[in-house]
Structure 1
Amino acid sequence: MSLTPRRTCTLALTAILSLPFFAPIQSRSLFAQTVSGSSTVTGTVADPGGNMLDTATVLLKSDSSNFSRKANADSAGRFSISDVPAGLYTVSVSAPGFSIAVQQGVRIVANQPKNLTFSLSLGNFSQQVTVDAGGTTSIAAKLAPMDAPLDERSARTEVNTTFIQNYTAPTADFGELVALVPGTETTNSNGVGLGQSTTNFRGFIDGDYDIDFDGIPFYDTNTPSHHSWAFFPSQWIGGVDFDRSPGTASTIGPTPFGGSIHLLSKQMPSERNIRGGFSYGSFNTVLFDGSFNSGDFGGASKKSNLFVDVHHMSSDGYQTFNYQTRNAGSLKYQYRLSDKTVLTGFSGVIWLDANSPNLSSTRAQILALGDNYLLQNTDTTQANYYKYNHYHVPTDFEYVGVNSQLAHSWSLDFKPYTYNYDNSQYYAKQPKGGAPINPTVCGTPVKKISPCAVDKYNSYRKYGETLAVSQTSSHGIFRTGIWYEWAATNRHQIPSNPFTLKDDVLPNFSEKFWTNSYQPYGEYEWLATKKLSVTAGLKFAFYTMDLTQYADNGGKIGSTNPITGVPFTSVSNSVNYHSWLPSLDANYRIKPNWSVYGQGSTGSVVPPSSVYDVAGALVGTPPKPQTSTTYQTGTVLKLQRVTFDADFYHTRFQNGYSSSTDNDPNSALFGESIQYISPSSITLGGEFETSVALGHGLSLYLNGTRGKATYVGTLTAYSPSGTTNNPLAVKAPSGLWVAQAPSDTEAEGVTYQDKGWNVGIFNKRVGSKWEDNGAYHNQLRDDPYNVSNAYINYTIRGGSHFDQTKIRLSVNNLMNSHNITSVTPGGALVPATFTSGGLTYTNPFVGTTTSSPGYTGGVNLADNPNLLPGRSIILSVTFGFSPGR
Structure 2
Amino acid sequence: MEKGFGSLARSAGVSAMALVLGMLSTTAHADAAADAESGTAPATGIAEGSDIVVTATRANEIAPATSSLEARQPQSIVSRSLIEDSLPATADFDQIALITPSVSNFGGNNGIGLGESKAQIRGFQDGEYNITYDGVPFGDTNDPTHHSTTFFPSNTIETIVVDRGPGNASQLGQASFGGNINLFSRAARDDFGGQLKASYGSFDTWLLRGLLNTGAIDALGGTKLVVTGQYVDTNGRSSHSPYKNYNLFAKAVVPVSPDVTLTLLGTYNHNKFNQPDKDGSTLYQQSLYGKHFSLNDDPTTEQYFGYNHTTKTTDFEIVKLEAQIAPGSTLENRAYTYYYDNETLSANDVTVWDKSTLSTTLADGKTKVAGDVPGYTKTNKYRVYGDIAKLKVQLAPIATLTVGAQIEWSRTYRQQTDVDLTTGGFNYVEKAVTAPPPPAIATNPGEKTPQYIKFDQNSQGNNAAEFVELEIKPVPGLSITPGFKHVDYNRKIFARWNQTTRYAQNLTNTYDANLPFLQANWQVSPQLSFYGEYARGFLIPSLTSLYVANPSFSNVVPERSTNYQAGFVFHGDHLSVDADVYSIDFKNKFASTNDPVFGTVWTNIGGALYQGIEGQVTYAVTQDLGIFANGSLNRAIEKTTRLQVGQAPKYTAAGGVIVKHGPIRFSLIDKLTGPQYANSPTVPGPTDSAATTAQNRALYFAYRIKAYNTAILAASYEIGPFRVGVEVTDLFNSQNVVTITSTGKTALNQIGLPLNTNFDQYYYQPGRAVSGDITFTF
Match of 2:390?
468
* Cα contact 1:135–1:638 (8 A) shared by 2: no
Offset at residue 256 of structure 1 (A) = 0.5
- Separation (CA, whole Å) in 1 of partners of 2:84 and 2:228: 14
Could you tell me which amino acid in structure 1 is paired with residue 544 of structure 2? S
Match of 2:464?
518
2:59 is paired with a residue of what secondary structure?
helix
Which of 243, 248, 253 aligns to 2:173? It is 253
- Separation (CA, whole Å) in 2 of partners of 1:834 and 1:143: 46
Could you tell me which amino acid in structure 2 is paired with residue 184 of structure 1? V
Q: Give 1:66-465 correspondences, 5 Å limit.
A: 136-187=55-106, 188-299=108-219, 303-359=222-278, 360-374=280-294, 376-430=295-349, 433-436=352-355, 438=358, 441=361, 445=365, 452-465=374-387
1:140 is paired with a residue of what secondary structure?
helix
* Cα contact 1:135–1:593 (8 A) shared by 2: no
Offset at residue 675 of structure 1 (A) = 7.3
Which of 759, 774, 792 aligns to 2:715? It is 792
Q: Does 1:643 align with 2:576?
A: yes
Offset at residue 510 of structure 1 (A) = 1.5
Which of 559, 583, 588 aligns to 1:655? It is 588
Change in CA separation of 1:379 and 1:410 when aligned onto 2, cut-off 3 Å:
same
Offset at residue 315 of structure 1 (A) = 0.9
2:553 is paired with a residue of what secondary structure?
coil
Q: Give 1:623-638 correspondences, 5 Å limit.
A: 623-638=556-571
1:372 is paired with a residue of what secondary structure?
coil
Offset at residue 273 of structure 1 (A) = 1.6
Which of 524, 527, 533 aligns to 1:593? It is 527
Which of 723, 728, 743 aligns to 2:650? It is 743
CA displacement, residues 666-690 of structure 1 (integer Å, 9 cap, x when unaligned): xxxxxx9997745211010100100
Q: Give 1:817-828 correspondences, 5 Å limit.
A: 817-825=734-742, 826=744, 827-828=746-747
2:621 is paired with a residue of what secondary structure?
strand
Could you tell me which amino acid in structure 1 is paired with residue 386 of structure 2? G
2:476 is paired with a residue of what secondary structure?
coil
* Cα contact 2:46–2:79 (8 A) shared by 1: no
Could you tell me which amino acid in structure 2 is paired with residue 136 of structure 1? T
Q: Does 1:761 align with 2:761?
A: no
Could you tell me which amino acid in structure 1 is paired with residue 267 of structure 2? G
Q: Does 1:876 align with 2:773?
A: yes
CA displacement, residues 172-229 of structure 1 (integer Å, 9 cap, x when unaligned): 1111110111011123211100011110121100000000100011100001000111
- Separation (CA, whole Å) in 2 of partners of 1:239 and 1:796: 26
Could you tell me which amino acid in structure 2 is paired with residue 597 of structure 1? Y
- Separation (CA, whole Å) in 2 of partners of 1:872 and 1:181: 22
- Separation (CA, whole Å) in 2 of partners of 1:422 and 1:182: 33
Offset at residue 430 of structure 1 (A) = 2.4
- Separation (CA, whole Å) in 2 of partners of 1:467 and 1:348: 22
- Separation (CA, whole Å) in 2 of partners of 1:592 and 1:823: 48
Match of 2:727?
810
- Separation (CA, whole Å) in 2 of partners of 1:743 and 1:834: 25
Change in CA separation of 1:658 and 1:237 when aligned onto 2, cut-off 3 Å:
farther
Which of 617, 621, 631 aligns to 1:694? It is 621
2:267 is paired with a residue of what secondary structure?
strand
- Separation (CA, whole Å) in 1 of partners of 2:761 and 2:508: 37
- Separation (CA, whole Å) in 2 of partners of 1:873 and 1:835: 30
Offset at residue 442 of structure 1 (A) = 6.6
Match of 2:554?
621
* Cα contact 1:443–1:497 (8 A) shared by 2: no
* Cα contact 1:602–1:627 (8 A) shared by 2: yes
* Cα contact 2:713–2:731 (8 A) shared by 1: yes
Change in CA separation of 1:771 and 1:335 when aligned onto 2, cut-off 3 Å:
same
2:545 is paired with a residue of what secondary structure?
helix
Structure number, greater radius of gyration: 1
Q: Does 1:497 align with 2:415?
A: no
Which of 506, 523, 546 aligns to 1:572? It is 506
Q: Give 1:657-736 correspondences, 5 Å limit.
A: 657-658=590-591, 677-713=604-640, 734-736=641-643
- Separation (CA, whole Å) in 1 of partners of 2:242 and 2:332: 42
Change in CA separation of 1:443 and 1:237 when aligned onto 2, cut-off 3 Å:
farther
Change in CA separation of 1:521 and 1:135 when aligned onto 2, cut-off 3 Å:
closer
Could you tell me which amino acid in structure 2 is paired with residue 222 of structure 1? N
- Separation (CA, whole Å) in 1 of partners of 2:752 and 2:75: 48
2:218 is paired with a residue of what secondary structure?
coil
Could you tell me which amino acid in structure 2 is paired with residue 139 of structure 1? R
- Separation (CA, whole Å) in 2 of partners of 1:402 and 1:639: 37
CA displacement, residues 766-824 of structure 1 (integer Å, 9 cap, x when unaligned): 11112227845634311111111111123457xxxx3xx32221111011111111222
CA displacement, residues 428-457 of structure 1 (integer Å, 9 cap, x when unaligned): 012885333756637774699998101100
Change in CA separation of 1:678 and 1:789 when aligned onto 2, cut-off 3 Å:
farther
Q: Does 1:537 align with 2:519?
A: no
* Cα contact 2:557–2:603 (8 A) shared by 1: no
- Separation (CA, whole Å) in 2 of partners of 1:135 and 1:328: 31
Offset at residue 558 of structure 1 (A) = 3.3
- Separation (CA, whole Å) in 2 of partners of 1:192 and 1:240: 18
Could you tell me which amino acid in structure 2 is paired with residue 783 of structure 1? K
* Cα contact 1:687–1:706 (8 A) shared by 2: yes
- Separation (CA, whole Å) in 1 of partners of 2:493 and 2:622: 61
CA displacement, residues 480-524 of structure 1 (integer Å, 9 cap, x when unaligned): 101111100000111011122223544111211110110110010
* Cα contact 1:512–1:548 (8 A) shared by 2: yes
Which blocks of at least 5 consecutive residues in structure 2 are unaligned?
A: 1-20, 26-39, 428-449, 683-695
Change in CA separation of 1:604 and 1:443 when aligned onto 2, cut-off 3 Å:
farther
* Cα contact 1:571–1:617 (8 A) shared by 2: no
CA displacement, residues 330-384 of structure 1 (integer Å, 9 cap, x when unaligned): 001111123322110001001111111122211222233211111x110111111
Change in CA separation of 1:446 and 1:680 when aligned onto 2, cut-off 3 Å:
farther
- Separation (CA, whole Å) in 1 of partners of 2:707 and 2:105: 14
TM-score (norm 1): 0.74
Could you tell me which amino acid in structure 2 is paired with residue 546 of structure 1? K
Could you tell me which amino acid in structure 2 is paired with residue 576 of structure 1? T
CA displacement, residues 522-547 of structure 1 (integer Å, 9 cap, x when unaligned): 01010111011100000001100011
Could you tell me which amino acid in structure 2 is paired with residue 296 of structure 1? A
Could you tell me which amino acid in structure 2 is paired with residue 822 of structure 1? T
Deviates more, 1:347-356 or 1:434-443: 434-443
- Separation (CA, whole Å) in 1 of partners of 2:55 and 2:145: 36
* Cα contact 2:192–2:214 (8 A) shared by 1: yes
2:342 is paired with a residue of what secondary structure?
strand
Offset at residue 164 of structure 1 (A) = 1.4
CA displacement, residues 691-715 of structure 1 (integer Å, 9 cap, x when unaligned): 00011511001001112111113xx
CA displacement, residues 577-613 of structure 1 (integer Å, 9 cap, x when unaligned): 0111110011111211100111101111110111122
**CA RMSD, Structure 1 to Structure 2 (Å):** 3.0
Give aligned-pair identity as a percent.
28
How many pairs were matched up?
689
- Separation (CA, whole Å) in 1 of partners of 2:663 and 2:258: 34
